[in-house]
Amino acid sequence: MFLIGLTGSIGMGKSATSRMFREAGTPVYDADAAVHRLYESAAVEPIGTVFPSTIVNGRVDRTILSKLVLGDINALKSLEQIVHPLVGADRLGFLSRCRESGAAACVLDVPLLFETGGDRNVDVVIVVSTSAEKQEQRVLARPDMTAEKFLAIRSKQTPDAEKRRRAHYIIDSGHGFDHARRQVVDLLYALGL
């Protein structure tokens, strides 16, 4: 089974591009969605042990957790030591199901693909990118987003220029959904998928 790693910095259009791969019939593992599911199940107890104030109504409150770890490298490392193994196990289950179903390929949608070394575990890496201006515009339009929070998030991500340099393929999301969708279809065709 051919493994496609899909990544891109915040506000680059990775989630929309991920949906386009799914619409084209390629199974997609969404690491962010997996974390959200885990925050309501397997991650609740271990996170509650380290960050008890984050558990609200039996699930991890992401807003509270974000405030606790943003800017605190030790707290972030503690969180990653809990969450990364859980996501890894969840991803292995997804891959197993894809193999069992006979899928020719699947997409691993991982925001921190390069940062976690996940790029070494896929056949190709696709980076979704746009201009820095469009990225900032998209991110600052999100609810509860501030310029300070955006800069803090972006500082923890591999710079876009470096991601583009390391990518096998780049999807330019700066010209609308139809343009990006054509790139996805063309790329799948080029890969023989």
> So what's the pLDDT on residue 177?
87
Q: What percent of the chain has pLDDT over 70?
A: 100
CA distance 19 to 101: 20
pLDDT digits (tens, 9 = 90+) for 30-49: 998 999 999 999 999 999 99
Predicted model pTM: 0.86
> So what's the pLDDT on residue 12?
92
Tokens (6 digits) for 186: 């063309």
Q: Say whether 61 sits in a helix, a strand or coil.
A: coil
pLDDT digits (tens, 9 = 90+) for 91-146: 999 999 999 999 999 999 998 899 888 899 999 999 999 998 999 899 899 988 88
CA distance 95 to 117: 18
CATH of 1-27+106-187, one of 3.40.50.2300, 3.40.640.10, 3.40.50.300, 2.40.10.220: 3.40.50.300
